Structure 1
Amino acid sequence: MKVAEAVPEFADAFGFEEFNRMQREALPAILDTDHNVVASAPTASGKTALAELAICRTLRDEGTALFIAPLRALTTEKETEWERFEDLGYSVYVVTGERDLNPRRAARADILVMTPEKTDSATRKHDSARYSFIEDVDCVVIDEVHLLDSETRGGVLEVTVSRMRRICDPRIVALSATMPNIDDVAAWLDAPDETTFEFGDDYRPVDLHAGVKTYTHGENSFADKYRRLYRAFDLAEPHIRDGGQSLVFVSSRQDAVRAAAKARDELAKRDVPIGARGDYDFHNEAKELSNDSLAKGVLDGVGFHHAGLSRDDREAVEEWFKEGKIQLLFSTSTLAWGVNLPARCVVIRDTKHHDPLEGEVDISPLDILQMLGRAGRPGYDDVGYGWVVCDRSDQNKYRRLLREGKEIESRLAEDLDSHLNAEIAMGTIRDLDDVMSWLETTFYYRRAQSNPAAYDFEDLRSRVRDVLDRLVSRGFVEMDDDLSIDATPLGRLTSKYYLRLGTASRFADLAERDRITADDVLETVAGAADFRQVSARQSEVDAVDSVLTGVSTTLEDGPKKVLAILHASMANSTPSELRSDAWVIKQNALRLLSALREFLDTFADARAANLAKRVEARVDNGVSSDAAALTAVDGIGPGRARKLATGGLSTPADVVDAGVKELTRAGLSQGVAERVIESAKDLPAPDIDWGEFPESVARGESDMHDIRVRNDGGGGSVGVRVTVNDVEMSTKTCYLSDEVTVPVGVFGAADDELEFVVEVAFPDLPLLPIRESRTVRVE
């Protein structure tokens, strides 16, 4: 069946001219019915085309399609790949981070591309103007729906799909690698038999021979890596000698680089014919690579691939591997989920990996099967070879996985309290009956029906009620006598910021303290439940202690390492021993700091929120406390902030007063200086007017006076706090545009002097609070 005959108006959106057998069989269900579709098929059999057909059907009906990709790295890849749809006049928009979201572009998009986590976040906020676009989705395509069985991400995908069905009831097209219990997924999604497809191994374009090879585990994990690497060389070598290609999966980006370097030496030692040094054009193309290690290796036929490479370098590696110029490629698991780069031989060298947030963990069975599925090149090989290299003690586990596959289980129960809290916070659940109705929309409930013994189906309702009772007792949820349910402010903030309940409780506890310091903020975040599984390797301990010299902390092991990374980030000086985990930990910490700021604003006061905001600015930008306020000015990045602070400018007001001439002297061009000054003028610039505030008061007398807080800059949220002799007298939170009046009582008390302090703090901005004082004599 020709593409041009099946979908003539979309023929140019496909990268081929004719559908294969699997695609032909599924096509009528996707194009000619409105039913939900579930299709499982072996890796490399062409499932992407089914996703594109579903998108074409949606566009033909003038609808909006949402493609849920399993990894963030694949969302940008789809954006590039689907420029073909852009060429046909349709808009493709990738929704990634909160800061980068353009709501207008998202609302106008014909094709949205998101991860499960981003879709979850958007659906939680669907009633806000910023995320209302999610309500207009007509078709949801779930790529790799077997992600439901992921320990860390499966529950998120499950509740998100259930929520989407309640919000806008879109058509669901779920695609997957082979899964034994596809009927459970189809029943959950209400896909009828005629649109549920289970394409077996006979639909694989190339037969797969998969097996397990073992090695003997030693005392030294570093030496073990090399034992496994030599095992991988032994398995790959015959195929390379025969003109084939091998793909070796390793656990980290750093391992991919190191293994490739070692492979070049080992293959030369074994005299394996590999490489293209005589190819003059290839030699010149390799010079264009931005990664020097990669440029050296590819000429010897050895490359590496991971998400940390620049897009141009990644695309070059993929192209050269397809052309056969790279014969041995080392990669992280990202490649298994995305780019279709099959090889005659696939070796999984590492079955465990170091997760910055979880410590040493097993690579999931889903990832193992996904990686092995890359073995075999259609059109070149009759058979592909896939090998798992593992410790002898694990061999039976992996042999069973290869023999029986992996049934898809629900992971919702592992974080049921957080997901239930989110639904209550959204207003989906208002009473006990709603709790059970929601539960019945989940894959968890469907799987429990299918496998009642494993899921203890008879006791399911009481377990969910226990979770609800815990939410009530911990202050996340309120339940009235009539059993109506509502979220508390704590529960709503927890859902809004995607927090674990333990983390939210920790934040609320901090807000109750009388005095909060910057060290308290950092300690609270570093000790959050999100970082509980972080581990500090032996090689990192000295670096952690060095960074925390002079810092008092009760944290130990992994959380202490997190604290060190946060302090190092503020100082813009992260030790090399901590850099491998620093980026992931810092990004998660910034999310938590942003949440903590709002917790403090809600449950403490504006000055505590402002402190958290200043700490966040320092961690994010790597600047001193003197320079933190400057990061609020558009056009002043970390480098400029540090430079200006060194020159004595530490506030937006200083920048305005310095003028264009002074800023150009500091290295800014005139145009940039002018824009920076205008941006600085847009920030609030309060001025405290004490009016006719008295210098003295008679003992026993009292009087009321108005203090005005005027604003010469742009509007913004402020908290005004008045104290007398360090005792809080009044607080006021408001939006400051022109001015606000604060009434202050002057009482002739027993003290001989009264020191009145007015403080204006900015809960949303990293600006230092404005403080002024007046002393009144009591006569």
Structure 2
Amino acid sequence: MKIASLPVPAPLIEYCEEKGITDLYPPQAACVDEGIFSGKSLLVAIPTASGKTLVAELAMHAQVANGGKCLYIVPLRALAGEKFREFSGKGVKVGISTGDLDRRDEFLGANDIIIATSEKVDSLLRNKTPWLRQVTLLVVDEVHLIASPDRGPTLEMVITKLRYRIPNLQVIALSATIGNPKKLADWLGAGLVTSEWRPVDLRQGVFYRGKIHFHQGEREVAEPSKTEDLNLCIDTIEEGGQCLVFVNSRRNAEGFAKRAAAAFKKRVKSPVLEEYAARILESATTDQEKVLAACIATGSAFHHAGLRREFRELIEEGFLKGEIRCISSTPTLAAGLNLPARRVIIRDLLRFSGAEGMAPIPVGEYHQMAGRAGRPHLDPYGEAVMIAKNEQSIEELFERYIDAPAEPVVSQCTRSGALCSHLLSLIATGFATDRKGLSKFLVQTFYGFTHASTKALDTIVNQSLKFLTETEMITEIGDLLQATEYGALVSRLYIDPLSAEAISGAMLEADGYSDRALLQVVCSTSDMPALYLKSKDLQYLEKFLYEHGDDLWQQVPWEDREQFYRSVKTAMLLSDYTDEVPEAIICERYDVGPGDLYAAVTNVTWLIHAAARLAAMFREDLAPAVRELEICTSQGIRRELLPLVRLKGIGRVRARRLFNNGITDPATLQEAGFDRITSILGSGVAKSLFSQFDEKETKERKDDLQGSSELVKKAQTSLFGFGGCDE
């Protein structure tokens, strides 16, 4: 089927033809035959690299051409950025929304395609963003994540809400790994397109003692190294391919990258790699980042959430360009990012899982990783390889992973914590005004669709409504359910009602205020991922509690000391950040990466913002201090720098440099003059700062003139007798 023959606007067709894409793949053609251009909903469950995204783009461009608006939901912020870049420049307006979780982002309504995470869409629904009602096509990427304990309930609720509110909404759900696609398609009221076709042949096998065992036969691999994972990697590099190695921890990812770097020294040479390494060294602040630069110079890299976002993006860019030859990563890299490789090595098949300890990875996760094997138009085939520990386990791995279907998608809505938050939002936004309305809505969720009996769900609903009533977030008078001002605010702020109650309760009982007290309370909530404890931490925590324990609003509970210590440790990290301790020292002190620090700061800033809004409602006397802490945390500064960071272009480093030179606020900066500021910050920054003052003065003059004009008008009115003056 020719792309040029499809009912989509010319810019998309021209873009495809420029990229050499003139014909649809068989699964894509099947989607056309199933009715994507006639408004029919579809579940597209086809292998990675089989063209799912183009199916969505074709449908979106057709909708836009007919006056529609499209919403594209992704599971990760990084994936949202990737899709934004991919969809832009093809004749439609594309917007992206992943930021603050209590903003309506009304400006996004001017776009034809809006990309957002499921959490952000849920927040937009809670804040009653008007343009959502104009959406005619919903695309859900990685729809199998409905089965995720963390993200699943939100994704399921968002899909249900949008379908509930928007009549005739077309839904296109995309996934590579679903064990029960027919059931999910039926829930969505969608047609089903499944296929095993791939543009590059995928060979799945098990490596043991120098041989990869495939269903089709065996292949020998040279063994220049003592370790099997590295031998597999070297074999791929020497035949001109690239390699992804999936391991179960960050430490293992870094360890493999270092071993690969040593092996690649004589095998890979590239001035581009040296340039990449230099770019990382320019802003590297930790030993981890310096190691990363050294690895990249040889063509090896590691990738995980502990790295800075800009470093992860550079690694992805280098791999896509074929310069970086091998990436060792935790499984997060397989969750949607478009990084195919000649060979994928799934080295670690066990992963630490809380209560279970080390447990086998799910089959669906294996298929997600294996699906990255094979670069379209570059590789004649792709290989996904596991490593057997003994001869007996070769057949076991084939049966458990290669020949097994992915697990069925199962609703996670019965998780009480998640449901409580979603029930509050349903009541606060008017989706349901009584228990009957709640039941009517919940029956339309995937859980309601797949369970003949909803007794388990009813029990959790009753428990949640009891909690929401007792905490005064909702009222139930007769049959009527309504959110109170407090409950409506909690829903808009997009925080767990349990978190809101912990924060507001602590502030109401507080005799005084301290930043440490608020940070510890916020870090004890379910919305704030707390740092893990290590044995060496206890002496520092005990010392901290001895010196500052009286400042805290919460005291050590006997029943869950570990969780309390974790919250204190996380609060200490954030306190160090606001005390302007250098990032490298924080990362070393708490054994975290710069990416972890950034994530912690982002999360806690949102929660402190929520605390400030709650303080304005319950403890107005604390609100100014909490609002100041929000800025201090987001910027990583002490309070003395607050006047300076309000200037555009001034962050924690420049503000401290100015302060240490006696410039403490905008007034003293102006008094210092252009030449002095140039000597401290450079001419470019100085020009930007003084232009802000010029703009402010111009605005103030305009305001003064406008004010004078109003006074003249009033005087004229009075003189001519229209202002109530006596004759």
Contact 2:2 2:24 in 1 (8 A): yes
1:496 matches 2:492 = yes
Aligned counterparts, 1:274-673, within 5 A: 275-277=267-269, 289-290=279-280, 296-297=294-295, 300-305=298-303, 308-310=309-311, 313-321=314-322, 326-336=324-334, 337-349=336-348, 351-352=350-351, 366-378=364-376, 380-382=379-381, 384-387=383-386, 400=400, 402=402, 403-414=404-415, 415-449=418-452, 457-480=454-477, 482-513=478-509, 515-518=511-514, 519-531=516-528, 534-541=531-538, 550-552=547-549, 553=552, 554=555, 556-573=564-581, 574-575=585-586, 576-578=588-590, 579-580=592-593, 581-605=596-620, 607-646=621-660, 655-656=666-667, 659-661=670-672, 665-666=676-677, 667=680, 671-673=687-689
Read off the aligned partner of 2:573 and give its amino acid letter. Answer: I
Read off the aligned partner of 2:469 and give its amino acid letter. Answer: V
Read off the aligned partner of 1:655 and give its amino acid letter. Answer: P
Read off the aligned partner of 2:489 and give its amino acid letter. Answer: L
The Cα shift of 1:75 comes to: 1.4
TM-score (norm 1): 0.73
CA offset digits 1:655-703 (Å, max 9, x no partner): 337644457635466644445557999999xxxxxxxxxxxxxxxxxxx
Read off the aligned partner of 2:176 and give its amino acid letter. Answer: A
Give 1 or 2: higher helix fraction.
2
Q: Residues of 2 paired with 1:397 and 1:561: CA distance?
A: 41
Q: Give the one of 129, 132, 139 matched to 2:130.
A: 132
Provide closer, same or farther for how the CA distance between residues 204 and 661 of structure 1 changes in structure 2, counting only shifts above 3 A.
closer
Which secondary structure does the structure 1 equivalent of 2:71 belong to? strand
Read off the aligned partner of 2:666 and give its amino acid letter. Answer: V
Q: Residues of 2 paired with 1:630 and 1:102: CA distance?
A: 29
Provide closer, same or farther for how the CA distance between residues 360 and 528 of structure 1 changes in structure 2, counting only shifts above 3 A.
farther
Q: Residues of 1 paired with 2:357 and 2:699: CA distance?
A: 42
The two structures, once aligned, show a CA RMSD in angstroms of: 3.9
Q: Give the one of 193, 199, 202 matched to 1:207.
A: 202
Which secondary structure does the structure 2 equivalent of 1:141 belong to? strand
Provide closer, same or farther for how the CA distance between residues 360 and 539 of structure 1 changes in structure 2, counting only shifts above 3 A.
farther
CA offset digits 1:216-274 (Å, max 9, x no partner): xxxxxxxxxxxx99452244455455554431023566654442122233567xxxxx7
The Cα shift of 1:106 comes to: 1.2
Q: Residues of 1 paired with 2:640 and 2:344: CA distance?
A: 57
Q: Residues of 2 paired with 1:80 and 1:253: CA distance?
A: 28
**2:163 alignment partner in structure 1:** 165
**2:56 alignment partner in structure 1:** 51
Provide closer, same or farther for how the CA distance between residues 613 and 238 of structure 1 changes in structure 2, counting only shifts above 3 A.
same
The Cα shift of 1:365 comes to: 5.5
The Cα shift of 1:77 comes to: 1.3
Provide closer, same or farther for how the CA distance between residues 533 and 302 of structure 1 changes in structure 2, counting only shifts above 3 A.
closer
Contact 2:648 2:689 in 1 (8 A): no
Provide closer, same or farther for how the CA distance between residues 401 and 151 of structure 1 changes in structure 2, counting only shifts above 3 A.
farther
**2:33 alignment partner in structure 1:** 28
CA offset digits 1:145-180 (Å, max 9, x no partner): 111111111111111111222333431111111312
Read off the aligned partner of 1:526 and give its amino acid letter. Answer: C
CA offset digits 1:188-212 (Å, max 9, x no partner): 2111xxx21122x355742342559
Aligned counterparts, 1:213-224, within 5 A: none
Higher relative contact order (CA 8 A, sep 6+): 2
Read off the aligned partner of 2:49 and give its amino acid letter. Answer: A
Provide closer, same or farther for how the CA distance between residues 167 and 633 of structure 1 changes in structure 2, counting only shifts above 3 A.
farther
**2:142 alignment partner in structure 1:** 144
Which secondary structure does the structure 2 equivalent of 1:93 belong to? strand
The Cα shift of 1:5 comes to: 2.2
Stretch of structure 1 that moved more, 115-124 or 531-540: 531-540
The Cα shift of 1:543 comes to: 6.0
Give 1 or 2: higher strand fraction.
1
Q: Residues of 1 paired with 2:304 and 2:66: CA distance?
A: 38
Contact 2:264 2:299 in 1 (8 A): no
Contact 2:27 2:193 in 1 (8 A): no
Q: Residues of 1 paired with 2:475 and 2:259: CA distance?
A: 60
**1:723 alignment partner in structure 2:** none
Provide closer, same or farther for how the CA distance between residues 186 and 304 of structure 1 changes in structure 2, counting only shifts above 3 A.
same
Which secondary structure does the structure 1 equivalent of 2:50 belong to? coil
TM-score (norm 2): 0.77
Q: Residues of 1 paired with 2:425 and 2:122: CA distance?
A: 10
Provide closer, same or farther for how the CA distance between residues 359 and 528 of structure 1 changes in structure 2, counting only shifts above 3 A.
farther
Which secondary structure does the structure 1 equivalent of 2:472 belong to? coil
Provide closer, same or farther for how the CA distance between residues 508 and 294 of structure 1 changes in structure 2, counting only shifts above 3 A.
closer
Which secondary structure does the structure 2 equivalent of 1:551 belong to? helix
**1:114 alignment partner in structure 2:** 116
Contact 1:664 1:673 in 2 (8 A): no
Q: Residues of 2 paired with 1:683 and 1:561: CA distance?
A: 47
Greater radius of gyration (CA): 1
Q: Residues of 2 paired with 1:616 and 1:37: CA distance?
A: 44
Contact 1:635 1:675 in 2 (8 A): no
Q: Residues of 2 paired with 1:363 and 1:305: CA distance?
A: 19
Provide closer, same or farther for how the CA distance between residues 363 and 123 of structure 1 changes in structure 2, counting only shifts above 3 A.
farther
Q: Residues of 2 paired with 1:601 and 1:682: CA distance?
A: 34
Contact 2:109 2:131 in 1 (8 A): yes
Q: Residues of 2 paired with 1:488 and 1:103: CA distance?
A: 24
The Cα shift of 1:437 comes to: 1.1
CA offset digits 1:635-667 (Å, max 9, x no partner): 5432343345445665xxx63376444576354
Which secondary structure does the structure 2 equivalent of 1:627 belong to? helix
In structure 2, list runs of 5 or more residues that go unmatched: 210-224, 282-289, 557-563, 705-727
Contact 1:213 1:390 in 2 (8 A): yes
**1:690 alignment partner in structure 2:** none
Q: Residues of 1 paired with 2:387 and 2:67: CA distance?
A: 46
Contact 1:526 1:563 in 2 (8 A): yes
Provide closer, same or farther for how the CA distance between residues 176 and 119 of structure 1 changes in structure 2, counting only shifts above 3 A.
same
1:2 matches 2:5 = no
Q: Residues of 2 paired with 1:245 and 1:655: CA distance?
A: 53
Which secondary structure does the structure 1 equivalent of 2:547 belong to? coil
1:94 matches 2:96 = yes
The Cα shift of 1:396 comes to: 7.5
Q: Number of paired residues?
A: 637
The Cα shift of 1:79 comes to: 2.0
**1:776 alignment partner in structure 2:** none
Stretch of structure 1 that moved more, 667-676 or 18-27: 667-676
Q: Residues of 1 paired with 2:161 and 2:489: CA distance?
A: 19
Contact 2:613 2:623 in 1 (8 A): yes
Contact 2:253 2:302 in 1 (8 A): yes
In structure 1, list runs of 5 or more residues that go unmatched: 215-227, 269-273, 450-455, 685-711, 713-779
Read off the aligned partner of 2:370 and give its amino acid letter. Answer: L
Which secondary structure does the structure 1 equivalent of 2:511 belong to? coil
Q: Residues of 1 paired with 2:456 and 2:670: CA distance?
A: 71
Contact 2:253 2:328 in 1 (8 A): yes
**2:194 alignment partner in structure 1:** 198
Read off the aligned partner of 2:439 and give its amino acid letter. Answer: M
